[in-house]
Amino acid sequence: MSTPYSTLIILSISILSCMKYVFSTNFYRDFDISWGNGPGNIHKNGKVLMLSLDGYSGSGIQSKKAYLFSRIDMQIKLISGNSAGTVTAFYLGSEGDNRDEIDIEFLGNLTGDPYTVHTNIYTKGSGCREQQFHLWFDPTSSFHTYTITWNPFMIVIYVDGTPIRVFKNLESIGVPYMKDLPMSVHSSLWNADQWATRGGAIKTNWTEAPFKAWFRNYNARGCVWMNGESSCISGSSKTINQDWYTQKDLDISNKKKLKWVQENQMIYDYCKDYNRFPYGIPQECYHN
């Protein structure tokens, strides 16, 4: 059913698709191939990355720089056709057992069925904050922009400029928040057919391999971590005056978009899983 908010979102997507992006992407410069099929996956003089998955290996990248607060944009075109069993990931993550992590994972499906966008927030090694959504467009036919903003006040995940998830800094009421560990940018493509598609009921069809996902127009703005210190710690960085860094809440327009997504596209919310939390949902659910 068409709503004012769905019309607004479609209009936003149309505008974004017509924009000429001027990001100075260079995957050779900005990333290391962390595992998998090697640097041959980078094309067009560093402007385009292709991650692949076959019966032998998946593949992944990690940014050369780490950040303590950042806004990260990546345009991704997901695996077309039968992608069941596969996971294409785009996330921020720190090192170690007590890691922080902000996850966007695209769970593949049978041809014609929607991708599931699986999101999760880890703080100090603890996750279990999953929210899942179906996209309102075909993410395999063209590139779309996926954004993670992480500042001292909140985390927001966007799809083509539309917020789909907010996680606020609620340390004042005892909810851990990521503010101490620098995180690198990661993308990967791997096989997870034990759980990814319909709880593992649909397995990967290896006759259709190699599976390929494409990336371009990476853009990172943030507090670069270097020599054990954030570039923003002195207060001299231009980053601390940027809108994404100082934002404490969504504006009215984005709150309406978020509400539309959560009412129409959300398929799982840990905050509503009372069987999982019989003694009470997590504290942040009352505020986010």
Catalytic hit among 105, 171, 208, 229: 105
Catalytic hit among 101, 130, 229, 263: 101
Per the CB < 8 A criterion, the answer to whether 68 and 223 are in contact is yes
SS3 content of the chain, % helix, strand, coil (to 5): 20, 40, 40
Closest of 162, 166, 100 to residue 131, by C-alpha: 166
- Within 8 A by CB and 6+ apart from 215, the residues are 27, 48, 49, 50, 51, 74, 75, 76, 77, 187
Catalytic site residue 101? yes
Residue 259 dihedral angles phi and psi, to the nearest 5°: -65, -40
Distance between CA atoms of residues 46 and 32, nearest Å: 12
Q: Categorise residue 280: left if φ over 0, alpha if ψ from -120 to 50, beta otherwise.
A: left
Catalytic site residue 95? no
Locate 150 and state its tokens: 């992480």
Q: Which residues are catalytic?
A: 101, 105
